[in-house]
């Protein structure tokens, strides 16, 4: 069974631009979560989607948004990029959320210059 895939793997953007990251979960998984990882803040939860509905959202500004499609694929968008948005963005999928195992993708490394 294929794992979680994320595209693109690397991205360089300029301050003020916007970016869209994509995540395809494991087949059959309906829950997709997004996390931001930085050296200073560690791993922080962005949001979680299940059956196209956002069920939970972390403490991030409104510039960070996401959505999930009917095939469970998810995208996250960051508008008006700031230098501090430079991070590894990880997507994780699970069957249903809750305490079920979450499997992560390889991540998208975003650099904002």
Binding to another protein by residue 104, rule CB under 8 A? yes
What H or E segment, with its residue span, contains residue 6?
Answer: strand 5-7
- Nearer to another protein among residue 38 and residue 80 (C-beta): 38
Nearest-CA neighbor of 74 among 104, 49, 107? Answer: 49
Q: State the Cα–Cα distance between residues 46 and 54, nearest whole angstrom.
A: 11
* CB-nearer residue toward another protein: 12 or 100: 100
Please state, in angstroms and rounded to a whole number, the distance separating the CA atoms of residues 1 and 15. Answer: 38
Between strands 108-112 and 5-7, the pairing is unpaired
Residue 15 or 52 having the CB closest to another protein: 52
With CB under 8 A as the contact rule, the residue among 45, 60, 67, 79 that binds another protein is: 45
The residues of the shown chain that bind another protein, judged by CB under 8 A, are 33, 35, 42-43, 45, 48, 50, 55-56, 58, 88, 90, 92, 96-107, 109
């Amino acid at each position: 069974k294929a794992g979680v895939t994320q595209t693109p793997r690397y991205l360089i953007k300029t301050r003020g631009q916007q970016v869209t990251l994509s995540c395809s979960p494991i087949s059959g998984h309906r829950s997709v979560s997004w996390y931001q990882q930085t050296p200073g803040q560690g791993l922080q939860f962005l949001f979680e989607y299940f059956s196209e509905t956002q069920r939970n959202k972390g403490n991030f500004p409104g510039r960070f948004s996401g959505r999930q499609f009917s095939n469970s694929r998810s995208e996250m968008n960051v508008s008006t990029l700031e230098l501090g948005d430079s991070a590894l963005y990880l997507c994780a999928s699970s069957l249903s959320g809750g305490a079920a195992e979450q499997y992560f993708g390889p991540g998208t490394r975003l650099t904002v210059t």
